[in-house]
Amino acid sequence: MRKVSLVLSLFLCCFGSGAVADVFPSRPIQFVVAGPPGNSSDVYARYFASRMSEIIGKPVTVMNRPGGNGFIGATAVLQAPPDGHTIFIAGSSPMAQNTVMFSEMPYDPVKDFRWISGMFEGMAVIVTAESSPYKTLDGLIRTAKTSPGKLNYGSYAAAYRLATEWLNQTTGMQTTMINYKGAPQVTTDLIGEQLDFALVDVVAVAQLVRDGRLRALAVTGDKRHPLLPDVPTLNEQGLPSYGLSAWVSIAVRAETPPEIASKLTKAMMTILAEPGTKSFSDKQGAPLLLLNDEQMTQFHLEELNKYRKIAKAAKITPQ
């Protein structure tokens, strides 16, 4: 009996939560991005993956799981073991805006995930094809109001759909949504004139605007975006600002041991504080979201409440 007790004690000593944290990470870590390569989440994820790999001494890879309004990426994380080796690049669409866009979701953003830290904040831009007859936001709005249902728009995440529906409600526009997996597919159809307009991630389309393939009509947010300094805000054009259209942070499964989550938070806060990360962020035009795990948890709850108010004001009914 004493031998059994001794073996059990040794097991608990070796495999208790502290020991688990001591050997973490024991294998490569994977960042799961709920979007295609090339969007802001992917670009930032790859930068942070490279830096985290150097800090923790294990490879950190990025897996893109686009589509399904972020459901595919979120559920991929929840299907992995809760050991900190699978990390969700958790954007505002799957973690906040989806809650007011869908009556049923395959996960609970509050109960199923544990926040690690913030990552960055983003803005969106309303774009058309350069060859489009809609050369100003006012012209686009006038057509959408006088010819209800004539115009269509592309959307690939709840953040952008919610913003566009808010624009519809605010201006009296009546437009039709066409769903896509990501920004690259939206921009391809915009350039090909299969879409009339779209509200998309600034970083994903800034170069296309500068190259003259897309025309930018307005940016969301309280001030102009550094990548598109000549494009006016909604506020400047007589419309109330939608505010920041998106934010991205990182999260793990809620069951992840606190000691492991703490290690990840420490690594992320180290990266966020580095001058090189600030320089990278400045070049991308999307400011860092400098929040630790506790601050991110509170911020998330505030965002949930904010989008409930926006959806109510815009009279958006969950699907």
| pTM for the predicted model, two decimal places | 0.77
Same domain, 84 and 167: no
What is the side-by-side strand order in the sheet with 214-219?
176-179, 152-155, 197-201, 124-129, 214-219
Distance CA 109, CA 88 (A): 11
Same domain, 250 and 275: yes
What is the side-by-side strand order in the sheet with 86-91?
60-64, 29-33, 86-91, 246-253, 113-122
Q: Is residue 194 part of a domain?
A: yes
Tens of pLDDT along the chain (319 residues) come to 444 444 444 444 444 445 556 689 999 999 999 988 888 899 999 999 999 999 999 999 999 998 888 999 999 999 999 999 999 999 998 999 999 989 999 999 999 999 999 999 888 899 999 999 999 999 999 999 999 999 999 988 777 888 888 888 889 999 999 988 788 899 999 999 999 999 998 888 999 999 999 999 999 877 888 889 999 999 899 887 665 568 999 999 999 999 999 999 999 999 999 999 999 998 887 889 999 999 999 999 999 998 888 788 777 778 7
Overall residue count recorded for the chain in this entry: 319
Same domain, 78 and 22: yes
Distance CA 30, CA 27 (A): 10
Q: Which domain does 67 fall in, by range?
A: 15-122+246-313
Domain edge (last residue) among 184, 202, 237: 237
Same domain, 166 and 105: no
105-118, pLDDT tens digit by residue?
Answer: 999 999 999 999 99
Contact 202, 285 (CB under 8 A): yes
Same domain, 116 and 128: no
CATH of the domain at 134: 3.40.190.10
Same domain, 114 and 178: no
Q: Is residue 8 part of a domain?
A: no
Domain edge (last residue) among 212, 237, 262: 237
Domain edge (last residue) among 170, 203, 237: 237
CATH of the domain at 76: 3.40.190.150
The tokens describing 151, both together, are 């115009």
Pairing of the two strands 86-91 and 246-253: antiparallel
Number of domains in the chain: 2
163-198, pLDDT tens digit by residue?
Answer: 888 888 889 999 999 988 788 899 999 999 999 999
Q: What does DSSP assign to residue 68?
A: G
Task: Establish how many alpha carbons lie within 13 A of residue 121's alpha carbon, considering only the half-sphere containing its beta carbon.
Answer: 16
